[in-house]
């Protein structure tokens, strides 16, 4: 009897403590995720009344869709360049900010500011910058490449996306790198200096190897956020000119909610999900190899 | 030697402050141009607004057309209630997961952690399809429920890591006194969570306040629009007249900047804690 009561009590507590959390989690994540897999095998569309089971034909359609793969490649390039340049800039900023500089808190707060603001607003700000301010600068300096807007040229519009992304996240990654720099034990730093490692030598042979955990986090953040970029894409370029900046996330959105092809859109989304997962996990495993103990 | 480090130091200062100016230039340009007319902006975006003609016309026009008060009200209600729900339910769940090392709990925790890598785009289509069929769209209550669901994994993960390090002895005295599990959680454990509650709170505010995609799918009627949605529709409807648009940008940024000025340290600390956990 006592055991039975305890079991009932446990179940009661489980429902009380876990119930609301699990219910919401299941309703918005687990169920849609599973239903999404089901959707990929149907030709479901909200504008038709009936739908049929179509096997793998959605995936076949995606794999033969040239436009999707072009934009997919573009997305890979965008993520790659954004990740490299953003981490580089963030690391330099963190390095400068942790080297005995005055006004550190002020500088840190300043560089972090873009992260407080959503992608929609940031995108519109930069739309003005590229369309009106940069072109004006080009005229004033009489420098031809800047005279026409970055946003009207297919190859340069994606560069504009990368510039804004780097600007947006550099301050965020910077504060993670600062935490990494500060976290290096003082004894290790002093010992390396006694051994004659100073300046750049110390940076490359002592500091960077000890900061591998920070690199893992920062690469991870940039890779996952880069793939998911939508707001900024929508506000800054809206995929233009000629669809040259339509990144994968936007492509999926338009396939589903403008072309009303839920089945194909979801098949793309699943391929997208697998890509993000592989990219993120590979990065962690690769970077972990460089990890050393202090 | 000393002279050389002095020169080096000087260059370091010049470099970092130049970078800062470049970084903040877009915001500066938005502010000065929001006081000008569209022609003045187009002819010279760098000039300061003419002191004689300075006015708040752009702001008044943006304020009205964006339905600013309504939008900021919607954003506030949605952010506050969603985060309250996330913090309450996820901290309770994390507590239960730590204190009961059942097999099912381990599985649940593993699923929660794994779910964090799923991009929203992989959920979005079935989400719209299911909730659309059930006729549950276009309600801010459903949106809050969704945020509650999407916020669980990360919050539980953070709370789980923290509660693990709270010694069980702290609760035992309470349990001997006949406290129920609920009482011992709210009276003993919950107050100790303060620092991590702040971390999760800050990250969730930044996420929900600025989120565009999910509310754009759920909230369909103009009266329900949050700030990012109303900014988007404002820009799409009045795309020719730049000056009020820039005033609109400045308006949406002001509340965030005010909060930032007062809690800059906590925000940055919270973001670091959330990232390195």
As a whole number of angstroms, the distance between CA B130 and CA B218 comes to 12
Return the residue of A nearest to B269 by Cα: A175
Q: Which residues are CB-neighbours of B139 under 8 A, at least 6 positions away? A: B218, B224
As a whole number of angstroms, the distance between CA A224 and CA A69 comes to 19
Provide, as residue numbers in chain A, all residues whose Cβ is less than 8 Å from the Cβ of B100: 10, 14
Cα B269 versus chain centre, distance: 15
pLDDT tens, position by position, B249-270: 998 889 888 988 888 888 888 8
Q: What is the pLDDT of residue A164?
A: 94
Q: Are the C-beta atoms of A214 and A180 separated by less than 8 Å?
A: yes
**Mean confidence (pLDDT) of chain B:** 87
As a whole number of angstroms, the distance between CA B243 and CA B58 comes to 6
CB contact under 8 A, A126 and B93: no
Provide, as residue numbers in chain A, all residues whose Cβ is less than 8 Å from the Cβ of B211: 118
CB contact under 8 A, A128 and B46: no
B36 occurs within a structural domain: no
Coil, helix or strand at residue A148: coil
Residue A291 neighbours by CB distance under 10 Å: 13
Provide, as residue numbers in chain A, all residues whose Cβ is less than 8 Å from the Cβ of B209: 118
Predicted complex: ipTM over 0.85? yes
Q: Which residues are CB-neighbours of B39 under 8 A, at least 6 positions away? A: none
Coil, helix or strand at residue A45: coil
Select from B71, B115, B75, B112 the least CA-distant residue to B209. Answer: B75
B175 occurs within a structural domain: yes
Inform me whether the C-beta atom of residue B238 falls under 8 Å from chain A C-beta atoms.
no
B181 occurs within a structural domain: yes
Nearest to B126 among A35, A128, A176 (CB): A35
Residue B133 in this model has a pLDDT that exceeds 90? no
- Give the C-alpha distances (Å, rounded to integers) separating B21 from A173, B17, B24, B27: 19, 6, 5, 10
Nearest to B271 among A133, A172, A265 (CB): A172
CB contact under 8 A, A93 and B128: no
Q: Are the C-beta atoms of B90 and A21 separated by less than 8 Å?
A: yes
As a whole number of angstroms, the distance between CA A7 and CA B38 comes to 71
Percentage of chain B lying above the pLDDT 90 cut: 38
Nearest to A110 among B24, B128, B149 (CB): B24
pTM of the model: 0.89
Residue B126 in this model has a pLDDT that exceeds 90? yes
Q: Is B42 or B246 the better-scoring residue by pLDDT?
A: B246
Per-residue pLDDT band for B177 (boundaries 50, 70, 90) equals low
Provide, as residue numbers in chain B, all residues whose Cβ is less than 8 Å from the Cβ of A269: 121-122, 124-125
B158 occurs within a structural domain: yes
Q: pLDDT tens string for chain A (294 positions)?
A: 577 777 888 888 888 899 999 999 999 999 999 999 998 898 888 777 778 888 888 898 888 888 889 899 999 999 999 999 999 999 999 988 888 788 888 899 899 999 999 899 999 999 988 888 888 888 888 887 777 888 888 888 999 999 999 999 999 999 999 988 888 888 887 787 787 777 777 778 778 888 888 888 899 889 989 999 999 999 988 888 888 889 989 999 998 898 888 888 999 999 999 999 999 888 888 888 887 765
Per-residue pLDDT band for B204 (boundaries 50, 70, 90) equals very high
CB contact under 8 A, B152 and A128: no
Provide, as residue numbers in chain A, all residues whose Cβ is less than 8 Å from the Cβ of B149: 24-29
User: In B, residues 2-61, which contact A (CB 8 Å cutoff)?
Assistant: 12-13, 15-17, 19-20, 23-24, 26-27, 29-30, 33, 41-42, 44-46
User: In B, residues 190-209, which contact A (CB 8 Å cutoff)?
Assistant: 206, 209
B211 occurs within a structural domain: yes
CB contact under 8 A, B115 and A276: no
Nearest to A39 among B42, B92, B125 (CB): B125
Percentage of chain B lying above the pLDDT 70 cut: 96
Inform me whether the C-beta atom of residue B107 falls under 8 Å from chain A C-beta atoms.
no
As a whole number of angstroms, the distance between CA B246 and CA B261 comes to 22
Question: Nearest-CA distance from B52 to chain A in Å?
Answer: 24
Nearest to B212 among A105, A119, A175 (CB): A119
| Domains of chain A: residue spans and CATH | 63-288 (1.10.3720.10)
Q: Return phi, psi of residue A42, to 5°.
A: -125, 170
Six-digit token pair at A164?
Answer: 């804004």
B94 occurs within a structural domain: yes
Six-digit token pair at A50?
Answer: 């009936």
Six-digit token pair at A290?
Answer: 């460089």
- Provide the domain limits for residue B168: 66-237
Number of domains composing chain B: 1
Q: How many residues does chain A have?
A: 294
Q: Tell me, what CATH number does B85's domain have?
A: 1.10.3720.10
Per-residue pLDDT band for B3 (boundaries 50, 70, 90) equals low
Nearest to B93 among A18, A27, A97 (CB): A18
Per-residue pLDDT band for B128 (boundaries 50, 70, 90) equals very high
Provide, as residue numbers in chain A, all residues whose Cβ is less than 8 Å from the Cβ of B230: none
Q: Are the C-beta atoms of B113 and B157 separated by less than 8 Å?
A: yes
B44 occurs within a structural domain: no
Q: What is the pLDDT of residue A84?
A: 95
B268 occurs within a structural domain: no
Q: What is the pLDDT of residue A167?
A: 95
């Amino acid at each position: 009897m006592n055991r039975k009561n305890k079991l009932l009590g446990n179940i009661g507590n489980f429902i009380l403590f876990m119930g609301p959390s699990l219910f919401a989690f299941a309703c918005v994540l687990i169920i849609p995720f599973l239903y999404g897999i089901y959707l990929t095998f149907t030709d479901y569309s909200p504008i038709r009344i009936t739908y049929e089971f179509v096997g793998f034909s959605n995936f076949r359609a995606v794999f033969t869709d040239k436009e999707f793969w072009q934009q997919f490649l573009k997305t890979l390039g965008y993520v790659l360049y954004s990740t490299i340049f953003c981490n580089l800039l963030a690391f330099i900023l963190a390095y400068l900010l942790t080297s005995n500089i005055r006004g550190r808190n002020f500088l840190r707060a300043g560089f972090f500011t873009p992260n407080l603001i959503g992608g929609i607003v940031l995108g519109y700000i930069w739309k003005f910058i590229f369309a009106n301010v940069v072109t004006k600068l080009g005229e004033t300096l009489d420098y031809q490449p800047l005279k026409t807007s970055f946003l009207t040229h297919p190859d340069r519009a994606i560069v504009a996306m990368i510039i804004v992304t780097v600007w947006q996240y550099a301050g965020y990654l910077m504060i993670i790198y600062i935490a990494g720099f500060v976290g290096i034990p003082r004894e290790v730093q002093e010992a390396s200096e006694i051994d004659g490692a100073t300046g750049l030598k110390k940076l490359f042979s002592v500091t960077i190897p000890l900061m591998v955990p920070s690199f893992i986090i920062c690469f991870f953040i940039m890779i996952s956020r880069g793939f998911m970029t939508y707001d900024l894409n929508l506000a800054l370029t809206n995929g233009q000119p000629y669809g040259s900046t339509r990144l994968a996330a936007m492509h999926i959105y338009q396939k589903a909610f403008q072309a009303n092809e839920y089945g194909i859109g979801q098949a793309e989304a699943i391929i997208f999900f697998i890509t993000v997962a592989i990219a993120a996990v590979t990065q962690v495993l690769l970077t972990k190899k460089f990890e050393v103990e202090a | 030697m000393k002279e050389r480090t002095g020169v080096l130091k000087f260059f370091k200062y010049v470099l970092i402050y130049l970078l800062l100016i470049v970084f903040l230039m877009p915001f500066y340009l938005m502010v000065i141009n929001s006081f000008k007319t569209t022609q003045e902006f187009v002819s010279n975006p760098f000039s300061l607004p003419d002191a004689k003609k300075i006015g708040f016309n752009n702001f008044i026009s943006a304020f009205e057309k964006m339905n600013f008060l309504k939008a900021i009200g919607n954003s506030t209600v949605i952010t506050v209630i969603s985060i309250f729900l996330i913090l309450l339910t996820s901290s309770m769940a994390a507590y239960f997961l730590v204190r009961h090392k059942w097999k099912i709990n381990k599985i649940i925790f593993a699923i929660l952690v794994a779910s964090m890598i799923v991009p929203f785009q992989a959920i979005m289509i079935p989400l719209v399809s299911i909730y659309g069929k059930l006729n549950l769209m276009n309600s801010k209550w459903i949106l809050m429920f969704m945020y509650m669901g999407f916020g669980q994994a990360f919050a539980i993960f953070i709370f789980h890591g923290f509660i693990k390090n709270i010694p069980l002895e702290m609760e035992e005295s309470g349990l001997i006194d006949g406290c129920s599990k609920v009482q011992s959680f709210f009276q003993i454990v919950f107050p100790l969570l303060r620092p991590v509650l702040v971390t999760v709170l800050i990250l969730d505010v930044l996420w929900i306040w600025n989120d565009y995609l999910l509310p754009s799918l759920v909230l369909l009627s103009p009266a329900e629009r949050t700030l990012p949605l109303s900014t988007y529709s404002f820009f799409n409807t009045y795309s020719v007249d730049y000056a009020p648009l820039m005033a609109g940008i400045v308006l949406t940024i002001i509340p965030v900047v005010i909060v930032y000025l007062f809690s800059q340290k906590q925000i940055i600390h919270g973001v670091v804690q959330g990232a390195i956990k």
